[in-house]
């Protein structure tokens, strides 16, 4: 039987909120870019807390996908696709892979004509994932109260 674990809705709600915070980028480009570039360059406590939490969540999601491979929901593919992407992203940032650094600098170029398109795409992704998390939470509680 396909199961929804208690933590799974919160996984998606958290990642949704993480992406939705990028609304800030539409209102204050300079401060947003400065904050994230500074965080990634300095690699202080906040960096390791955020990146560590993201990495742990991705690994837990990937392990869940593998453990439940016979009974997976369609949305668990997000663990594989998004999780592998994010783990690579974290690795590339931590090790300073040159082409990834250039990509990040392009993404955070506040004078770019693509600024709004980039960040709106992340915001839309965040909205989708957040709504998915809320729907999973409702579904989880309905199933829990039926059994």
pLDDT, tens digit (0-9, with 9 covering 90-100), for 85-144: 999 999 998 898 999 999 999 999 999 999 999 999 999 999 999 999 999 999 999 988
Report whether pLDDT(147) > 70: no
In a domain, 66, yes or no: yes
How many structural domains comprise the chain?
Answer: 1
Residue 147 lies in a domain: no
**84 within domain boundaries:** yes
Q: Is residue 46 part of a domain?
A: yes
Q: How far apart are CA 115 and CA 95, in angstroms?
A: 25
Residue range of the domain that includes 42: 8-140
């Amino acid at each position: 039987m396909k199961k929804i674990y208690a933590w799974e809705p919160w996984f998606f709600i958290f990642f949704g909120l993480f992406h939705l915070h990028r609304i800030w980028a539409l209102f204050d480009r300079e401060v947003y870019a400065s904050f994230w570039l500074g965080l990634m360059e300095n690699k202080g406590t906040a960096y390791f807390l955020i990146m560590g939490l993201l990495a742990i969540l991705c690994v837990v999601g990937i392990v869940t996908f593998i453990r439940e491979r016979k009974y997976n929901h369609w949305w668990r593919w997000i663990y594989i696709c998004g999780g592998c992407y994010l783990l690579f992203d974290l690795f590339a940032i931590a090790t300073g892979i040159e082409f990834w650094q250039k990509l990040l600098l392009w993404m955070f170029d506040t004078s770019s004509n693509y600024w709004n398109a980039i960040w709106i795409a992340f915001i839309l992704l965040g909205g989708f994932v957040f709504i998915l998390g809320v729907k999973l939470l409702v579904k989880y509680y309905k199933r829990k109260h039926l059994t």
